[in-house]
Structure 1
């Protein structure tokens, strides 16, 4: 075991790690950024900006049923995943030896799916709208964090979080029956406030840092405009849609393990099981459909989108300082997903990923880091939203397609500055 002084790593290595922690949790529900607070744990005054791009390939095969696929047509869905980009930024100020303050900008949740044109008419309406099923969700948040160190090496922190969301959903094709083929929902931009709280501990002599951060759920009451191929839906009284982005817990840990070598880990839990969305007109229509289909035995309808399980993810990696100007790192990540079968609006069950990165430090006070991750996306069956209803025989009818052997590649670029 080397002497403790040999574990005092150059900031080049300590700064590069969050490019992996901040990388997207690609496979679970609406997860995008992982909601990292690691920039706030940097020493002294610090600022950074991160840019990410994700290129995904997700396709499946529709079940061979006449209610889903037109006769003598290929059952391939085509590639439904859309390339995405997102950004994060942070500034942290060490006000005194005991007090610190930070502002983090994040785009924590997102979705971008569009089913391409296929003659099978499963998820694309070839007859009227010439459009495919699609979903687009965007979000952004600003976290203001106040930190206090009552004793050396220990800090408690917390603060308010302002978050905005918006989204659009379009349902097309045989998979949604005549009742929903042509349905559109436009979730208007809405902002609400939540909070975060946490604690961190460090031993600089061995480059050890540990932090636990809890983020609260954020409740929304959103105006949703619903229509059917442009004609407003008015099956029931108009009212705002209630939904909430989930509470979560992040555990971050790093420590020197050998000369100029650092091991790091991130564990994350997200309470997606509590998430669902069901706009008023969608719900009213679903109640009519289910009441007719069950001859009055079931009248509660179903959700536009929901998840059956919480997400758990883990990242384990190692970084090594090559020179005073160069460092490298690699990590492996696992994501549990949020249930199988999965929604047709996100038919993936978890993932495994491998990340690689490097950082260049032109001067002692700033650096540039770049990295990439390859994701092996988990196989999943897709279902139409009725799979989990307490109706005998509903499961085989609700299952619609098989999505297998899919992948994604994420790219990241970070610029960090100490002042």
Structure 2
């Protein structure tokens, strides 16, 4: 069973829909498969995700209204160029968009602002209307990253490939919090100007071409982004602009809290966002003529990830005194690391056609989870096809159906505890992918 007889089927293990809907903000799965292709190789792909995530107010919410679909569809491209510059040396450039988020609430629920939104649940008489503030809008988030990796590989023998390199990554985005779920943060906006940071990767691969066996393990480092986030807390800004004597009489505790929040809201400083480290383990082997089995295992260190914008954090230290969090709290955090597994079989059907089937599982990153991404892991099934008009070229496409894990959604002030404000069940997603490849 020679490798050349399996070339078409092997490529099927790299269909671009892998990792399209994963835990926390994981998107692309950061595949290294293009770098292990023989000779000189180029590929470009596009993946599209169409999720449906609906739920109901629950937990600490005073009502139990329906929450319509809050997960927006999105797409992300990828590309790779690999050159075998000498018998024992190769170089590669990989582009992807590894992390991201896109969501928007609508309708009538605790994530859309209303005139009578409570500022703090512990102070039932203190509402936005009581102080003359009407914070309009709905909760939404969009975060995008781009990653460019330059990789050098050394192949001391036909069987081994030792590689490493540098990664340049950018991040940008915005977050808007609205509705009674966020109490004093109703009206919070954060805009993250695109900024870059450097990281690194390293790994080793082993292959036995005669049986189409390939195995690799790749480590990617954390990447720090030091950013100045433009923040505003609309409700606090509104209160601060009320002329002296016109602010309604408030309980002493409420007055002290609002005074402290106004002072903290004036703070300025930089925020460090650190995207997580990860490990990918990839394996494939021939199991019969023209047929390969493949598997990918991915670990991402989301447990140590958190975003606490500077001004948000300063205000949280004030608000935290009233909600049992004296050290403040984060805008986003996760309680567990992510594990994901994809396995399948690819088969060459004719000289020009091949197909594959796959099954995937993702652990999620903890439950309860942030209101900005309220699902916990998934199961999926996938189908793929590939057409090779010439031995040097191919076009591949695939589709995956996701059963998204049920989750309880909590705000930053609740993270780390058991309280939550909404519950999301029985949700799903569809992912589509297209990829073209060329050997030269």
TM-score by length of 2: 0.87
Q: Post-superposition shift, 1:25?
A: 4.7
Return 5+ residue gaps in structure 2 as ranges: 116-133, 239-261
* In the alignment, structure 1 residue 86 sits paired with structure 2 residue 81: no
* In the alignment, structure 1 residue 400 sits paired with structure 2 residue 421: yes
Q: Post-superposition shift, 1:343?
A: 0.7
Deviation readout 1:84-129 (Å, 9 max, x if unpaired): 01100000001111000110011000100100122x4x11114434
Please give the residue correspondences for 1:105-124 in structure 2 after superposition, counting only pairs within 5 Å: 105-118=95-108, 120=109, 122-124=110-112
Give the corresponding residue for 1:175: 181
**Alignment equivalent of 1:159, drawn from 165, 169, 173:** 165
Please give the residue correspondences for 1:124-163 in structure 2 after superposition, counting only pairs within 5 Å: 124-127=112-115, 128-163=134-169
What is the number of equivalent residue pairs in this alignment? 397
Contact kept, 8 Å, 2:385 with 2:396, in 1: the verdict is yes
**Alignment equivalent of 1:209, drawn from 209, 214, 228:** 214
Give the corresponding residue for 2:319: 289
Supply the distance in 2 between the matched residues of 1:415 and 1:313 (Cα, whole angstroms): 25
Please give the residue correspondences for 1:324-403 in structure 2 after superposition, counting only pairs within 5 Å: 324-389=351-416, 395=418, 398-403=419-424
Contact kept, 8 Å, 2:267 with 2:314, in 1: the verdict is no
Supply the distance in 1 between the matched residues of 2:230 and 2:42 (Cα, whole angstroms): 40
Q: Post-superposition shift, 1:236?
A: 4.8
Contact kept, 8 Å, 1:27 with 1:377, in 2: the verdict is no
Give the corresponding residue for 2:308: 278
Q: Post-superposition shift, 1:415?
A: 0.3
Supply the distance in 1 between the matched residues of 2:22 and 2:318 (Cα, whole angstroms): 33
Supply the distance in 1 between the matched residues of 2:12 and 2:137 (Cα, whole angstroms): 43
**Alignment equivalent of 1:260, drawn from 290, 297, 309:** 290
Supply the distance in 1 between the matched residues of 2:85 and 2:186 (Cα, whole angstroms): 57
Contact kept, 8 Å, 1:25 with 1:335, in 2: the verdict is no
Give the corresponding residue for 1:250: 280
Q: Post-superposition shift, 1:152?
A: 2.2
The farther-off stretch of 228-237 and 82-91 is: 228-237
Question: Structure 1 379/366 Cα, relative in aligned 2: closer, same or farther at 3 Å?
Answer: same
Structure 1 stretches of at least 4 aligned residues deviating more than 4 Å after TM superposition:
230-234
Q: Post-superposition shift, 1:26?
A: 1.1
Give the corresponding residue for 1:54: 49
Return 5+ residue gaps in structure 1 as ranges: none
Contact kept, 8 Å, 2:233 with 2:265, in 1: the verdict is no
Supply the distance in 1 between the matched residues of 2:135 and 2:414 (Cα, whole angstroms): 27
SS of 1:238's partner is coil
Contact kept, 8 Å, 2:105 with 2:111, in 1: the verdict is yes
Contact kept, 8 Å, 2:6 with 2:292, in 1: the verdict is no
Deviation readout 1:150-180 (Å, 9 max, x if unpaired): 1222110010000000111110011111x11
Supply the distance in 1 between the matched residues of 2:59 and 2:342 (Cα, whole angstroms): 39
Contact kept, 8 Å, 2:333 with 2:415, in 1: the verdict is no
SS of 2:339's partner is strand
**Alignment equivalent of 1:44, drawn from 35, 39, 48:** 39
Give the corresponding residue for 1:418: 439
Q: Post-superposition shift, 1:259?
A: 1.1
Q: Post-superposition shift, 1:229?
A: 3.3
Contact kept, 8 Å, 2:20 with 2:47, in 1: the verdict is no
Question: Structure 1 278/261 Cα, relative in aligned 2: closer, same or farther at 3 Å?
Answer: same
SS of 2:394's partner is strand
Supply the distance in 2 between the matched residues of 1:339 and 1:383 (Cα, whole angstroms): 11
Give the corresponding residue for 1:19: 15
Supply the distance in 2 between the matched residues of 1:270 and 1:140 (Cα, whole angstroms): 17
Give the corresponding residue for 1:239: 269
Give the corresponding residue for 1:28: 23
Supply the distance in 2 between the matched residues of 1:346 and 1:235 (Cα, whole angstroms): 26
Give the corresponding residue for 2:345: 318
